[in-house]
Every structure is written in C-alpha cells, then in structure tokens.
C-alpha cells in the first residue's frame, strides 16, 4: 500500500504537461461518464426504461379513464335532476295555461302560468311564430339576464347546458299548443352556474389528483424496477472484473436478490468453476509445451550460431537465411521463456532468491549488458549514496533489461534512454525513461495486462504483449511496485519502487 502511494506521488511530480493533459483527460472522462449515464437513463432498449414506460402508459390510461368516466357520470347525475324538472314544467305548462284561460284570455293565462312556475333561477318565455316575445318571467325584464337569454338562437328540444358569458344555463324550447291554438315556442332556462362551478372545481381537483397519482405511481414503479435490476447490474460488474487468472477465486454472491436472479448467479458460479478448471488444464498444457519446445529450439539456435561462426565457405544468401533463422529461433525461445515464467507465477511455482542488493552496482551492470546488444545511448544517473534493497538480483536484472528493451523498441534510434536511481524517504526509486512514441492515458492502465499491445500499427518492433505483465509480476513478487507515466509522442517513464532494507 505504501509502495503504491510512493509510486502515485512520483507520478504527480511529473512534468507540468503530463499533469495538465491528464487533468483534461480526467474531465473528459467525467463528461463521458455523465453522458453515458444520461444515455443509460434514456436507453429505449433497456428493460428498465421499457417497463417504466409501459406501466406509466397503463397507469395513465387506467387512471385517466377512471377520472374521465367519473366526471361524465357526475355531470349526468347533476344535470338529470334539472332536466327532469324542466320536462315536468314543459309538460305541465300547457295545462296550467288552459286552466287559467278558462277565466281570462289565453295570452293573459300564459302570463299567469309563467309567473306561477318561474323562480329566480327558472325562467320561462314564449315567442310567437313571428319570433316576437309574447310573455316572459319578471326576471327577464332585467337588462343583464334578458339580453343574454332572449337572444340565444337554436335552443334545442332536449335540455342542454349553454355557457353564456360565464354563467351556465340548462335550456330547451318546445312548441306550445293550448286548445288547438298555436302559441308559438315555449322557452325554459334553468340557471345551474353554482352547480356547474362546483362540478368544474371538482373536475379540476380530480385531474390534478390523477396527474399526481400517475407521477407518484410511475416514480415508485421506476424506483422499484431500478432496485430489482441492481442484482443483475452487480452480476455484470462482478463478471467484468473477473480476470482469467482469478477464475478459481471468483464467486458471485448476492444477498437480497429475487430467486430468478439468484438462480442465474448460481449458474454463473458453476460456469466459473468449469472455466477455472479448463483454464488450469490449458495452463498446464502451455507450460508443458513451452518446456518441451524450449530445449530443442535452444539447441537449434546454438547449432545455427555455431555454423554462422565457423562456416567460412557460406554464400551471402546462406548467411542471411541462417541469421534470420537464428533470430527467429531466439525470439521464439524468449517467448517460450516468458510463457514458462507466467505459468510458474500462476501455479505459484515461481521462487525468488531474495538477497540484499546494492542497486547502484546492479544497475551499472545492467546498463553495461544493455549497451552490448544495443548501440543506443543509454545514460544512467546514480544516487550519491549506496542504496540497498532486498530482491532477487537475477529477476531484477530481467525486469530492467525488459524495460530498457521496450524503451529501445518504442523510440527513435537518435533519442537517448535514461536510467535514474534515487532514494526518497525509505524507498528506492528506479526509473527507465525514453523519448519515444509514448502511451495514451487510456492504454496506460492496460499495458501490464497479458497479451495487451497498444495499436499494432504503432508497434514496429515485434512483440508478444507478455513482457510488461511478467515485469509487473516479478516486481510485485519481490515486494516492489511498478507504475508508468507517459505522454503520446513525448516519451514514457517506468518507475519501480522498492522499500529500503
Ligand atoms: P511487447 O512484447 O508488445 O513489447 P510489452 O508487454 O512489453 O509487450 O508491452 C506492451 C505494450 O506496451 C507494447 O505493445 C507497447 O505498445 C507498449 N509499450 C511498452 N513499453 C513502451 C514504451 N517504453 N514506450 C511506448 N510504448 C510502450
């Protein structure tokens, strides 16, 4: 943990451009994460969104329909009483006129009947066939009511609600015949403003309550669905983090999940066990094959080298063919060695000969070795005092040579490679720096994975993608830590941290 902190601190002390660029990258990553979240919420293909939309639609149709049905029913109940009342007046009116007109003229009789049946809210008037008003309720003499009601055209036979300048009237008109005499049309109007206002307020409250109920219901259902989907999300996150070499330790454990999801998790677990077994067999096979191939290939390479050294009568073409064969054989031997190392680490058979090492001397030696097989400028800045750590000297040399080899492979021939050694607090810090192609921030997190290679087109030098994963395994196996800081087209620095003895 402490080592990781030191490596992290070192990374933060890198040049300004690295920090600025990684900050902007971080911001970009944050924005991308937010956009991804929004996309997830609006993702119409997800079960969560689809279920929520369908349930919300069903709730809206159901509750909306119920509210609409209730309103229509209420309106019907409210008006039907008034309608019956009006029908009763319309039926009774000719009889009343007939009774009155036994003593007085028909016209006067009609007026009397109007007076006896009119109230403040129930108004009656008669229009003759010429459209003139022959009799009307007293209240219709008032300008404000008279001007509104008497001018209404096309009054229906069946009572209907009319909105007249903010007041509501139930109106109907029926032909009036008394003793076979046509008196024209009888108009009836009932003021239902108060009832109608009450009804409209009720409808408004009902609509608001319905909308709130739909929103609350949809939100609760959406939350419930979201909650129910969590175990699935957990399975997905867990499986995403399971690496091939940790298959045997992976286990999906869900506490509170629906039984269907628990069943899925159990099936996943069983599959992981089968995968772990298959992986183990594959590892064994790889280890055995690597071992069996390495020895004959080393012998072949040795013979080719010897022919090249001693064969004085070889033609140029033969020499070139043998050189290519030797380098390919060496490359394959190296690959087999890497595979064997990994197989050893995986099976726990990798043993480290931990001993006290003076890093200044070891690095000096490694730089000397590296210079032998590369004509690159390799500079090295040692610490002023001796730095001693505990590690396996053979493996540490392998690590440093591997990093130098990468630095050579991924940088231009004219650029130098620098090694640095320094002490910070209780830690020894070794750095391998190059001014090469660099590694993007995105890729930096993955280069220590097995078989990972940054964009093949950038990798001019052949490789297997195993080097850095072995380096990391070896460094960590010896009790150290490795990290990288890099900037595209500027260069990379690999930092190894070991605790001092
Ligand atoms: P390889 O055999 O491909 O070199 P490694 O595990 O050593 O495999 O490296 C993994 C990838 O990391 C390489 O393919 C390369 O793209 C990148 N890489 C490693 N070292 C450097 C470096 N010093 N500069 C730029 N890229 C590097």
pLDDT digits (tens, 9 = 90+) for 217-241: 889 988 888 888 888 888 888 888 8
| Residue 438 CA, closest ligand 1 atom number | 25
Name the least confident of 37-46, 256-265, 382-391, 431-440. Answer: 37-46
Centre of ligand 1 from the C-alpha of residue 444, in Å: 10
Q: Is the CB of 406 under 6 A from ligand 1?
A: yes
What DSSP state is assigned to residue 129? T
Task: Tell me what pLDDT residue 48 has.
Answer: 81
3-state SS string over 148-162? HHCCCCCCCCCCEEE
Q: In sequence order, which residues have a C-beta less than 8 Å from that of residue 183 and are 6 or more positions away?
A: 97, 106, 110, 126, 128, 134, 176, 177
**Strand 167-178 with 181-191, pairing:** antiparallel
pLDDT band at 18 (very low <50, low <70, confident <90, very high): very low
**Chain segment 162-211, per-residue pLDDT in tens:** 888 888 999 999 999 888 888 899 999 999 998 888 888 988 999 999 99
**Chain segment 34-54, per-residue pLDDT in tens:** 777 777 667 778 888 888 889
Sheet holding 133-136, edge to edge: 133-136, 122-127, 181-191, 167-178, 160-164
Cβ-in-10-Å burial (0-12, 13-18, 19+) of 1 comes to exposed
Mean pLDDT over each residue of the chain, to the nearest integer: 86
Q: Is the CB of 360 under 6 A from ligand 1?
A: no
How confident is the model over 378-383, as a mean pLDDT? 92
Residue 14 scores a pLDDT above 50? no
The Cα–Cα gap between 148 and 169 comes to: 10
SS3 131: coil
Q: Is the CB of 491 under 6 A from ligand 1?
A: no
How confident is the model over 424-446, as a mean pLDDT? 94
Centre of ligand 1 from the C-alpha of residue 404, in Å: 11
Centre of ligand 1 from the C-alpha of residue 467, in Å: 8
b/e code 27-54 from CB counts within 10 Å (16+ = b)? eeeeeeeeeeeeeeeeeeeeebbebbee
The Cα–Cα gap between 446 and 465 comes to: 11
How confident is the model over 462-477, as a mean pLDDT? 88
Centre of ligand 1 from the C-alpha of residue 458, in Å: 10
Closest C-alpha residue for ligand 1 atom 23:
407
Centre of ligand 1 from the C-alpha of residue 456, in Å: 10
Q: Is the CB of 436 under 6 A from ligand 1?
A: yes
Task: Tell me what pLDDT residue 377 has.
Answer: 93
pLDDT band at 383 (very low <50, low <70, confident <90, very high): confident
| Residue 452 CA, closest ligand 1 atom number | 10
SS3 423: strand
The Cα–Cα gap between 52 and 57 comes to: 8
How confident is the model over 285-302, as a mean pLDDT? 89
Mutate to test the pocket of ligand 1, among 335, 407, 433, 439 (most ligand atoms within 8 A of CB): 439
Name the least confident of 83-92, 143-152, 428-437, 477-486. Answer: 143-152
b/e code 267-289 from CB counts within 10 Å (16+ = b)? ebeeebeeebeebeeebeebbee
Cβ-in-10-Å burial (0-12, 13-18, 19+) of 237 comes to exposed
Say if CB 366 and CB 404 are below 8 A apart: yes
SS3 392: coil
């Amino acid at each position: 943990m402490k080592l990781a902190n030191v490596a992290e601190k070192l990374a933060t002390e890198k040049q300004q451009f690295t920090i600025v660029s990684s900050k902007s990258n971080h911001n970009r990553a944050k924005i991308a994460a937010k956009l991804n979240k929004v996309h997830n919420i609006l993702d119409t293909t997800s079960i969560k969104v689809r279920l929520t939309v369908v349930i919300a639609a069903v709730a809206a149709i159901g509750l909306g329909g119920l509210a609409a049905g209730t309103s229509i029913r209420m309106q019907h109940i409210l008006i039907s009483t008034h309608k019956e009342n009006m029908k009763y007046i319309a039926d009774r009116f000719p009889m009343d006129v007939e009774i009155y007109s036994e003593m007085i003229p028909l016209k006067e009789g009609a007026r009397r009947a109007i007076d006896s049946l009119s109230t403040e809210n129930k108004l009656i008037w008669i229009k003759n066939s010429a459209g003139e008003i022959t009799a009307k309720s007293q209240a219709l003499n008032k300008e404000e009511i008279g001007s509104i009601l008497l001018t209404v055209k096309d009054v229906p036979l069946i009572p209907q609600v009319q909105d007249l300048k903010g007041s509501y009237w139930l109106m109907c008109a029926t032909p009036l015949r008394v003793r076979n005499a046509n008196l024209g049309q009888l108009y009836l109007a009932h003021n239902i403003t108060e009832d109608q206002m009450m009804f409209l307020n009720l409808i408004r409250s009902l609509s608001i309550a319905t909308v709130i109920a739909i929103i609350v219901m949809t939100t609760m259902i959406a939350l419930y669905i979201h909650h129910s989907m969590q175990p699935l999300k957990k399975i997905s996150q867990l499986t995403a983090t399971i690496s091939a070499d940790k298959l045997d330790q992976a286990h999906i454990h869900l506490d509170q999940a629906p039984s269907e999801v628990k069943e899925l998790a159990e099936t996943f677990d069983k599959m992981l066990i089968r995968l772990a077994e298959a992986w183990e067999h594959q590892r064994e096979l790889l280890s055995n094959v690597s071992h069996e191939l390495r020895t004959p290939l080393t012998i072949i390479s040795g013979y080719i080298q010897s022919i090249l050294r001693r064969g004085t009568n070889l033609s140029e073409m033969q020499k070139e063919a043998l050189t290519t064969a030797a380098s390919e054989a060496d490359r394959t031997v190296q690959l087999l060695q890497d595979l064997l190392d990994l197989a050893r680490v995986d099976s726990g058979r990798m043993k480290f000969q931990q001993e006290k090492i003076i890093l200044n001397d070891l690095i000096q030696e490694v730089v000397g070795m590296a210079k032998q097989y590369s004509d690159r400028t390799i500079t090295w800045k040692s610490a002023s005092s001796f730095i001693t750590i505990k590690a396996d000297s053979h493996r540490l040399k392998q690590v440093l040579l591997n990093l130098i080899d990468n630095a050579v492979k991924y940088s231009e021939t004219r650029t130098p490679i620098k090694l640095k050694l320094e002490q910070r607090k209780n830690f020894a810090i070794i750095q391998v720096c190059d001014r090469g192609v660099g590694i993007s921030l995105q890729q930096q997190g993955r280069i220590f994975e097995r078989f990972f290679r940054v964009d093949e087109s950038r990798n001019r030098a052949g490789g297997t993608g195993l080097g850095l994963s072995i380096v990391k395994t070896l460094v960590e196996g010896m009790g150290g830590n490795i990290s990288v800081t890099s900037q595209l087209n500027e260069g990379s620095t690999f930092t190894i941290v070991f605790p001092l003895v």
